[in-house]
Amino acid sequence: MKRKFRLNSSLVEYLEGAIFIAPWFIGFLIFMAFPIGFSLYMSFQKVTITATKTTTEYIAWTNYRYILFENGQLLYNDLLPFLRQALFMIPIIVLFALMIAIILNQKFAGRTFFRAIFFLPVILATGQVVAEFLTQGEGDLGFMSKYNVSGLITANLSSTWSGPLIKILDSFVLILWYSGVQILIFLGGRQTISNSAYEAARIDGAGPWETFWKITLPAMTPFIFLNLIYTVVDLFTFPTNPILGKVRESEYGSYSALIWIYFLIISFFLAIIFIIFNRVTKSQRETV
């Protein structure tokens, strides 16, 4: 008598997930794994390009030492102000997207139209388009010059922080333009919250503010951290990025090392987000 072979549910779920991710994984191995590995290899090489060939010479950590200690102008003078700017931009984008998503989840005339308006720039705005807007001085807020906001910021903050903050306000409209995906994620997250939870809160006498802090915000925590991760990755490929904007093709070795240093910086930001997320979720489980 033949035995019927049955797969348990966890194995079936694992196989289904593997099948869905297989196209991406195969594409990653074919198109990305080799360039990533090759860039790491080049970061330890001195690359010489001639008309007929390209030669490499192993120089160990020389490229990294040169960037970190000997010629840190690009890393420290250009990148650090951008990182300080990112510390302002990341929460601004996420909070704006959360507020807009909550508003767009309400029932009102033209809701679909306004949802499309906020997401449309994601489709139309490429990096080159945004870079051109910034070059032409577009995207600033009119009240900045009218009420001398830049002067007030400069007078009350050190130059270390006032410069990045003013730069954000000068391109504030374009920063908000980059919130379309985050708004869409928050909309999906908001719709996972059952309306019965809000009805029960209203019956108990909870107001909108209490409802937001006790129901909406805890339920949206995973989506907040998902948007933080997305915003960090998206922000570090922003058109004003000093690292991506100054890489020269003729200096493969040193700029490969620079890109790997930059990758470690991005990984550090993401690690902080994951640590905060784990602590927040642990605290929420303990309070339940």
The Cα 157–Cα 17 span in angstroms is 50
Residue 92 pLDDT level (bands cut at 50, 70, 90): confident
Closest to 276 in 3D by CA, of 222, 204, 210: 222
Task: Say what percent of the chain tops pLDDT 70.
Answer: 75
Digit-coded pLDDT (tens) for 179-199 = 888 888 998 888 888 888 888
Domain 72-287 - what CATH class?
A: mainly alpha
Whether the CB-CB separation of 139 and 172 falls below 8 Å is answered with yes
Tokens of 264: 């470690």
Task: Indicate the pTM of the whole model.
Answer: 0.74
The Cα 221–Cα 273 span in angstroms is 12
Tokens of 130: 């945004």
Contacts of residue 127, Cβ cutoff 8 Å, sequence gap at least 6: 237, 239
Whether the CB-CB separation of 210 and 201 falls below 8 Å is answered with yes
Task: Say what percent of the chain tops pLDDT 90.
Answer: 2
- Dihedral angle of Cα 88, 91, 96, 102, to the nearest 10 degrees: -170
Residue 89 pLDDT level (bands cut at 50, 70, 90): confident
Tokens of 288: 């339940």
The residue with greater pLDDT, 182 or 108, is: 182
Partners of 55 in the beta sheet? 48
The Cα 69–Cα 73 span in angstroms is 10
Please give the average per-residue pLDDT across 249-260, as a whole number.
78
What pLDDT does residue 141 have? Answer: 61
Tokens of 30: 């074919």
**Which amino acid is it at 130?**
V
What pLDDT does residue 1 have? Answer: 47
Count CB neighbours of 116 within 10 A. 12
Please give the average per-residue pLDDT across 213-240, as a whole number.
84
What pLDDT does residue 136 have? Answer: 62
Distance of CA 283 to the CA centre of its chain: 25
Residue 171 pLDDT > 50: yes
Residue 3 pLDDT > 60: no
SS3 136: coil
Residue 224 pLDDT > 50: yes
What pLDDT does residue 206 have? Answer: 82
The residue with greater pLDDT, 133 or 37, is: 37
Residue 138 pLDDT level (bands cut at 50, 70, 90): low
Residue 9 pLDDT > 70: yes
What pLDDT does residue 223 have? Answer: 92
Digit-coded pLDDT (tens) for 67-82 = 888 776 767 777 777 7
In this structure, of 28-32, 86-90, 213-217, the range with the lowest mean pLDDT score is 86-90
Closest to 103 in 3D by CA, of 210, 186, 173, 22: 186
Please give the average per-residue pLDDT across 95-121, as a whole number.
81
Ordered DSSP codes for 192-246: TS-HHHHHHHHHTT--HHHHIIIIIHHHHHHHHHHHHHHHHHHHTT-TT-HHHHH
Q: What is the DSSP letter of 141?
A: -
Residue 242 pLDDT > 80: no
**Which amino acid is it at 50?**
T
